Amino acid sequence: MTRTSHHTPDYDSTAKGNFKLDYHLEMLSDRERVEQFKKGIDKVVTKDTVFCELGCGTGVFSIYAARKAKKVYAIELDEEVYKFAKKNIEASGLTNIELIHANAMEVELPEKVDVVFAEMLSIWMIHEPQLLVMNSAVKRLLKPKGITIPEKIVNLLEVCNTDYIFDNIEMRAPIAQFTGIKQPRILTTSIVFDSYKLNEVNPETVNGSIATTSITSGIANSVRLSSLVKICDGVNFFTTDTLMPQTIFPLEEELFINDGEEISINAQFNFRSELNDVTFSIAKH
């Protein structure tokens, strides 16, 4: 099993979104991820806050929030990890957490909440249902002018050249840039392709383009994607091996570009897609 598979939830016909338990352990061990999201909770949660975590996993963030909040609703669909969350919440001794075994897109709560927390993050929100879940929560669960964690996602890209030929064998595929994966050769600066405020209802498809200028000559055959997560004001998260590693996607067709040449990059996909269903193309102005 590849590292990419290890980082990919099981969205089968039942849409349970199951992660293997060893991946939950990996996420808990990712101190950058955990501590930055805790800082976000520290910033926005008070003793009067009604807090809801969608996809609570093992319960670490719901338990942390419950030590500060008035009430916490912790929602988890994966039956196996739900049992871990139940055990962890009971062991915490906290009585203001209500754990609910339900789909985040369908759960009904007895009240609107002040803060919705959902960390279903993947690069550009392509594979995970982060944006769809937040859209649903904003419509159904969040109070007017309520807070979401994360607050905003900013998607960036660079045009680059990646080695796809090995001993005369060509292999083109999206690949997460985990530790040990060879760096591409960068041909443009990093540019913002789009951004999403998660306390608003957002479009659920991407079909757009952006212009940029090359900073060196070379064969453009790929783009590298990254996402900046604004957790809340003054707290952000960029990338680790566990969460949202930068990801390289092959272009539909390669193109030689000259230093200083203007180009445009088009992206097309639906949120919660398979990586192989995403298309990127490049053209000269």
How far apart (Å, rounded) are the C-alpha atoms in residues 230 and 227? 10
- What is the set of domains in the chain, with CATH numbers? 3-149 (3.40.50.150), 152-284 (2.70.160.11)
Task: Write out the two tokens for 183.
Answer: 């760096």
- Do residues 262 and 211 lie in contact, with contact meaning Cβ atoms separated by under 8 Å? yes
Outline where 125-274 has alpha helix (H).
130-140
pLDDT of residue 6: 67
Q: pLDDT (tens digit, 0 to 9) for every residue of the chain, 285 residues total?
A: 567 776 776 665 455 667 777 888 888 899 999 999 999 999 999 999 999 999 999 999 999 999 999 999 999 999 989 999 999 999 999 999 999 999 999 999 999 999 999 999 999 999 999 999 999 999 999 999 999 999 999 999 999 999 999 999 999 999 999 999 999 999 999 999 999 999 999 999 999 999 999 999 999 999 999 999 999 999 999 999 999 999 999 999 999 999 999 999 999 999 999 899 999 999 998
- Do residues 170 and 193 lie in contact, with contact meaning Cβ atoms separated by under 8 Å? no
Strands 50-54, 71-76: pairing kind = parallel
Q: What is the DSSP letter of 48?
A: T
Q: How many CB atoms lie within 10 A of CB 238?
A: 14
Global pTM value = 0.93
Phi-psi region of 73 (alpha: psi -120 to 50; beta: other; left: phi over 0): beta
- Do residues 105 and 55 lie in contact, with contact meaning Cβ atoms separated by under 8 Å? no
Let me know if 277 is exposed, middle or buried by CB neighbors in 10 A (0-12, 13-18, 19+). exposed
Task: Write out the two tokens for 230.
Answer: 């604004």
